[in-house]
Amino acid sequence: MSQSQKIGFIGLGIMGAPMAGHLLDAGHQLFVNTQGNTPEPFISKATICASAAEVARQADVIFIMVPDTPDVEKVLFGEPGTLGVAEGLKGSRGKIVVDCSSIDPIATKGFAKRIIALGCGYIDAPVSGGEVGAKAASLTIMCGGDEGTFGQVRPLLEKMGKNVTLVGNVGDGQVCKVANQIIVALNIAAVGEALLFASKAGADPAKVRQALMGGFASSRILEVHGERMIKRTFAPGFRISLHQKDLNLALQSARALGVALPQTAGAAQLMNACAALGHGQQDHSALVRALEALAQHTVTPD
């Protein structure tokens, strides 16, 4: 593909805005559509489209970054009163849809089949790294789809992430993302329990964390989320409510596969408890608040 391309981007939220910004900075012509207000610099430097269909008509590659499976379905296929990407793709063979949202792997396969039937390509490319990774263009991007189609969009994905991998066929990127969210959730729960235990026992959780960072228990979760638990900085990089959704996807898929995920189920319940306590819009490191409520003790005072 040529260096400067016509790129569509639908969903300019916490993650989508910086991701699209990297494409803009790379010199691509952007056509955007989002719920709510369009952030700068897109107002002055991109073309704002009234619908997802209009984005698809104007762009050759269309990125989607929205919260959940129903949101992706609405963007792709519309609903009464709105036109989706599929409508804009009609008669335009060879265009490519890249869904960076984290959604149901089974639904993804169905969405892809409908888009491919229009003569267009489809890549599912969920991301990991949160707001920090999106801003730094250091996201891990897990892709599913045809190898040739992936090769066409890989240079664009590499503007947004450092670890871009074709995992397998359509839907496999979403499977990989679900696996990622299982690992992250269980690690957050483990760090929360460890720091809460240390604090309740009378040790300084900050010094305990510092000591653990030099040993086998060291992890990115202990480094970043452990610090958030200690400093009580729960402004969202990735919200509890979104991780709830991802763990529900994991448990639904596991049920369909006949696989038991007991630790994942426990982490999901802690996320649910956090939401019930009113913390659903906080960062997923706030999972520790559910543990603290059970212990009637905080890692450090709020």
Which residues have a catalytic role annotated? 177
CA angle 57/92/51 to nearest 5° reads 20
Taking only Cα atoms into account, the Rg of the chain, rounded to an integer number of angstroms, comes to 20
The closest of 186, 187, 168 to 250, measured between CA atoms, is: 186
List CB contacts of 156: < 8 A, sequence separation 6 or more: 5, 7, 23, 28, 61, 63, 98
Which ranges of the chain does DSSP label H, i.e. alpha helix? Answer: 16-25, 42-45, 52-58, 69-77, 85-89, 105-116, 130-136, 147-157, 172-200, 205-212, 220-231, 240-257, 262-276, 288-295
Q: Which of 212, 221, 224, 155 is nearest to 186 (CA)?
A: 221
Q: To 10 degrees, the CA torsion angle through 283, 284, 285, 286?
A: 70
DSSP states along 123-150 = EE--EESHHHHHHHT-EEEEEES-HHHH
